[in-house]
Amino acid sequence: MNSGDDDCRRISRRAAVSGAALALGAAAIATAVPEAAAQQKISQADAQYQGTPKGGQHCDGCINFQSPKTCKFVQGDISPGGWCQLFTPKS
């Protein structure tokens, strides 16, 4: 084996390690972006939120409602008796 073969192996190893580091970094960024996006809530106006129920639909019957007065997706105080277009009934 000559030193040229060792140089190729070192470069290949170095390239593999660099590639793995880049892949791990990209994976970390990919998981961080959806989490950050999920933390951003929409305005009450965009959700068409109203402080009164719509028919039998009301926030405290929605899977997105977080007692006592918040929503996973809508900004601000949310009335348990309110409603918005994101309403999804609890099962």
The answer on 57 and 36 residing in a single domain is no
Q: Are residues 33 and 52 in the same domain?
A: no
Task: Categorize the per-residue pLDDT at 71 as very low, low, confident or very high, splitting at 50, 70 and 90.
Answer: very high
Which DSSP state fits 89? B
The pLDDT value given to residue 75: 96
**6 plus 32 within the same structural domain:** yes
In order, the DSSP letters of 22-73 are HHHHHHHHHHHHHHHHHHPPBPTTTTT-BSS-BTTB-GGGBTTEETTTEESS
24-27-31 Cα angle (round to 5)? 145
The pLDDT value given to residue 52? 97
> By residue range, what is the domain housing residue 18?
1-40
Domains held by the chain: number: 2
CATH number at residue 48: 4.10.490.10
- The answer to whether residues 25 and 46 belong to one domain is no
- pLDDT value, residue 2: 55
34 and 47 share one domain: no
According to the model, what pLDDT value does residue 45 have? 97
Q: Are residues 34 and 52 in the same domain?
A: no
What are the tokens at 60? 């405290």
Q: How many CB atoms are closer than 10 A to CB 87?
A: 19
- 61 and 51 share a domain? yes
pLDDT at 4: 53
Taking only the tens place, the pLDDT of each residue in 19-66 is 544 455 555 555 555 555 557 999 999 999 999 999 999 999 999 999
Residues 31 and 13 in one domain: yes
Residue 72 has a pLDDT of: 96
pTM (predicted TM-score): 0.58
